[in-house]
Structures are given as structure tokens and as C-alpha cells.
Amino acid sequence: DTEVTQTPKHLVMGMTNKKSLKCEQHMGHRAMYWYKQKAKKPPELMFVYSYEKLSINESVPSRFSPECPNSSLLNLHLHALQPEDSALYLCASSQADSSYEQYFGPGTRLTVT
């Protein structure tokens, strides 16, 4: 199984809402990632979890809060977002100690109104 799944596919939220993005993989990978991608730009790394511990935080604002409940699941909790946070949010997974190619989910297209 080489699939990474993400829910929801689309999300519209107001600036005062709280919502969560979910990601799941069953490839036995021990590294999981959140990326943000704006139109016509490459993905920007937000967070990396390695063996369920946060290993990289790319100075992301605290209105984004990641969580890794277990080795297969990754969440991104959203609170008090700004319209400029509207983007495609991509989850990925990879081996933690070798190979390092990342497998991406289909993304959640987020619109903040």
C-alpha cells in the first residue's frame, strides 16, 4: 500500500473557526510532513515528525498546531487563521533513516474567509 490519504479534500473556514486536517499512511514510514503550497509555487515545509516526535518546525505561526498521535496519523490543527493562509496543504511520509523519498497525499485545499 503506497497511499497517503488526507481529509478533507476541501475546507472553507472563517477566521474565528477551529478545524483540523488529517493525514494517514500505512506504508510503515516513521517520518511524516506537513507542507503548504501556494499557487504556482513549490511546496514549503512546515513541520516534520520523526518517530512521532516533532523534529523540524519551520518557524510556523502558532495558529497552526501539528499533532502525531501515532506512527500512521498526522493532524494539523487550525485556529484563528488569516486569509493569506489559504493554500493547498500537503501531507507526506517517508522512511526516517534511509531513502528519504517522500510520498504525498492529494492535499487539502483550504480557503480562509
Partner 1 sequence: AQKVTQAQTEISVVEKEDVTLDCVYETRDTTYYLFWYKQPPSGELVFLIRRNSFDEQNEISGRYSWNFQKSTSSFNFTITASQVVDSAVYFCALSDPSGGYQKVTFGTGTKLQVIP
Q: Which residues would be at the binding site for partner 1 (CB under 8 A)?
A: 31, 33, 40-43, 45, 48, 50, 55-56, 88, 90, 92, 94, 96, 99-107, 109
Could you tell me which of 46, 41, 43, 104 has the C-alpha nearest to residue 76? 46
Work out how close the CB of 93 gets to partner 1 at its nearest, in angstroms, rounded to a whole number. Answer: 11
Residue 80 or 96 having the CB closest to partner 1: 96
Could you tell me which of 61, 59, 48 has the C-alpha nearest to residue 96? 48
Work out how close the CB of 72 gets to partner 1 at its nearest, in angstroms, rounded to a whole number. Answer: 18
Residue 8 or 14 having the CB closest to partner 1: 8
Residue 16 or 39 having the CB closest to partner 1: 39
Cα separation, 107 vs 67, whole angstroms: 17
Peptide bond into 69 cis (omega under 30): no
Work out how close the CB of 98 gets to partner 1 at its nearest, in angstroms, rounded to a whole number. Answer: 9
Cα separation, 17 vs 5, whole angstroms: 23
Work out how close the CB of 34 gets to partner 1 at its nearest, in angstroms, rounded to a whole number. Answer: 12
Cα separation, 8 vs 111, whole angstroms: 12
Residue 40 or 83 having the CB closest to partner 1: 40
